[in-house]
Structures are given as C-alpha cells and as structure tokens.
Amino acid sequence: MQGLIDRLTALLNDGTVARVLGWKKGDMPYNPEPAIFNSAEELKDFVYDGFCGANLSKMMIEATKLEGKTAVCLKPCDTYSFNQLIREHRVNRDNAYIIGVGCRGKLDIEKIKKDAKGITEISGTELDGQEKVTIKTIYGDKEINYTDALLGRCHVCKGKEHMIADETWGESKDTADQERFEEVQKLEAMTAEERFEFFKNELSKCIRCNACRNVCPACSCRKCVFDNTKFDAQQKANVDSFEEKMFHIIRAFHVAGRCTDCGECSRVCPEGIPLHLFNRKFIKDIDKYYGEFQAGKDPEAQSPLTDFTFEDIEPGERG
C-alpha cells in the first residue's frame, strides 16, 4: 500500500493531478470510505485493503467536472463501470487519471462477523497480505481464510484485467471459482410457484432505503423515477402487493444492457437481498437472445437495448 501512496503523492506533487479519489480509513477496521484527497498531506489517511469494495467510478461523474485532473483508483471490475460511464457521456475521460489497482478479491464483513463478534482490529487484508486474516476481538483472536470471506461477486469475477487505465499498480490474484449464471439457472429450474415464494420472501425484506440505486454506477440519471412522489415507491406496500416487486423490476430494467454486473447493489443492501439475481437474469437473457454482451468492456459498443435485428425473437417465445 505504501507504494501506491508514494505514487499518488508523486502525481499530486508534480501537478499531474489536482486531487485523488480513493478510500480513507473508517471508524472501524472494516469500513474504509470513499474520499477525495487534495494534498499529499491528506494521503496519510489513504487506505487500500480487502475492505475497499466500494466502486469509485460513479463519483467520477462529479469529480471530472472539477478543475484539473482527478486520479482515481479503480479495481478491475470498477473499470467496466467507468467505461460504461464514458459510453453514456457521464464522465469526462480527459479529466481522469486512472490507476488500475490490483485485486485479490474483496471481503464481506458480514461473513467475518458470523463467527467473530466484537471486532477491534483486523490485519492481513492488504493486497500483499497473508492467506489468513487475523481478527482481534474483545473475546480473543480469530483466524479466517481470506478466500472464505470473499464477497459473492468475487467468486464470479469477470477477470483481473483492467478495461481502462493510465497505469496499473499491484499484483492481482484470480478469485473466480463459480459459474456466473449458476444461481439464475437454479431459479429457472424451479417451478413458478417456488420462484414466486422465493422472491416474495427476499423482497419482503426491502426497507426501500434506496442504497442499491444510490450506489449503482448505471443509476446516474439526474432525475430518477423513484424520486417522483407519484411513483409511490417511497412507502413500501404490503408483502402481498405487486408494488414490492415493481421497484426491483423497474430498477433492473432501467439498467438492463448497461449493468456491468459490478455487484455493488448486492454488496450495499442492508437487508442482504441478492439483487444481482435480477440483473444477471437480464444479462443472461440478453446473452442468449441477442448475443453475448458485457457492458463496459468496450466503451464504443452499442447497448443491446438500443439496438435490434430483423430476426429478433418474439416476446413470450422461449428460445
């Protein structure tokens, strides 16, 4: 991490960039937060460890409007989101200096908390850290394998190559060990009755906090439909009402073809709702009906929903 801080300091000092967008230490050992650093001085709080899951690309929408360049640290998966934002003319590429940071997977604190309560300190989560993470708690020390505490999205990581970067830093490690569409396939194989129960059960937990929307790089509309008081999404309806599902279907639909499957929505949901199951279903359908497409891979590519062919299948047909 020191190497990265040194490099960022140099970039600030020689005037290449006016500020750095990165993560700074949080009030707990496991919650670093996105932050802007305006001087080399401020970088003393900079951190890049296993808990830096937050995707900083959405914050570049505002940061690239500022005077001078902003250096931003992007993990491999974050670079897809950044490309997609370029595609949508939401960020100014010329005002960004992208440092593609290496990644060996990011940690899910909920998994760690399952058998470690009262955490006071966590060590060994840096990029060049150990295979085992040491957790100090008020009840004594615990150890857990780094790979056992990964976020769900890291098990289906799209790869450790940065889709866009001005320079890269750090060695990545492969973490993908699961099929990306496995969960969706499992659901598809159930009966409609079972699926209905499954989603009803999951979605009834939603407290409509809007965190999933606020964090999503694809949800960057200046005026969001869910802020419209006439949408009546602010107040959650009863569990047996369709309104429960409406919010999620509409949100997934609005990002269909643009969602890079960055996994941020599922990561931030305070209720642990597997929101990726909606987005991945759309991605799977798009792949199947309109040809494989990965949003954010190529900033020039046409989104499948703003495109068509004469031979497209008819709605309701099962291809």
Partner 1 sequence: MSVNENGEFRPLIVAFCCNWCSYAGADLAGSSRLSYPADVKIIRVPCSGRVNPMFILRAFERGADGVIICGCHPGDCHYSTGNYYARRRMTLLFSMLDYIGVENGRTRVEWCSAAEGAKFSKTMNEFCEKIASLGKNVRLGDLRCKD
Using CB under 8 A, list all residues that contact partner 1. Answer: 187-188, 192-199, 225, 232, 237-238, 240-243, 245-246, 249-250, 252-253, 256, 278, 281-282, 285-286, 289-290, 304-308, 310, 312-317
Is residue 101 close enough to count as binding ligand SF4 by CB under 6 A?
no
We find the least distance from the C-beta atom of residue 310 to partner 1, in angstroms, to be: 7
Among 91, 135, 149, 262, interactor with ligand SF4 by CB under 6 A: 262
We find the least distance from the C-beta atom of residue 124 to ligand SF4, in angstroms, to be: 17
Is the CB of 23 or the CB of 282 nearer to partner 1?
Answer: 282
Q: Are 208 and 233 in contact (CB under 8 A)?
A: yes
Among 85, 261, 282, 286, interactor with ligand SF4 by CB under 6 A: 261
List the single partner that 187 binds among partner 1, ligand SF4, none, CB under 5 to 8 Å by kind: partner 1
Residues 191-210 that bind ligand SF4 (CB under 6 A): 206-210
Q: Which amino acid is at 213?
A: R
Let me know how many helices (H) and strands (E) the chain has, helices first: 11, 8
Q: How far apart are CA 188 and CA 254, in angstroms?
A: 22
We find the least distance from the C-beta atom of residue 85 to partner 1, in angstroms, to be: 22
Q: Are 85 and 217 in contact (CB under 8 A)?
A: yes
We find the least distance from the C-beta atom of residue 197 to partner 1, in angstroms, to be: 7
Q: How far apart are CA 292 and CA 282, in angstroms?
A: 12
Assign residue 210 a region: left if phi > 0, alpha if psi is -120 to 50, beta otherwise?
Answer: left
Helix (H) or strand (E) holding 212: helix 211-215
Is the CB of 47 or the CB of 268 nearer to ligand SF4?
Answer: 268
DSSP tag of 136: E
3-state SS class at 205: coil
We find the least distance from the C-beta atom of residue 16 to ligand SF4, in angstroms, to be: 25
Is residue 269 close enough to count as binding ligand SF4 by CB under 6 A?
yes
Q: Which amino acid is at 236?
A: K
Helix (H) or strand (E) holding 120: strand 119-123
Is residue 103 close enough to count as binding ligand SF4 by CB under 6 A?
yes
Among 22, 32, 76, 304, interactor with ligand SF4 by CB under 6 A: 76
List the single partner that 279 binds among ligand SF4, partner 1, none, CB under 5 to 8 Å by kind: ligand SF4
We find the least distance from the C-beta atom of residue 39 to ligand SF4, in angstroms, to be: 28
Is residue 175 close enough to count as binding ligand SF4 by CB under 6 A?
yes
Question: How buried is residue 42: exposed, middle or buried, by Cβ count under 10 Å (0-12/13-18/19+)?
Answer: middle
Is the CB of 69 or the CB of 251 nearer to ligand SF4?
Answer: 251
Q: How far apart are CA 176 and CA 155, in angstroms?
A: 4
DSSP tag of 19: E
Is residue 75 close enough to count as binding ligand SF4 by CB under 6 A?
yes
Is residue 217 close enough to count as binding ligand SF4 by CB under 6 A?
yes
Say which residue the tokens 């150990």 belong to: 130
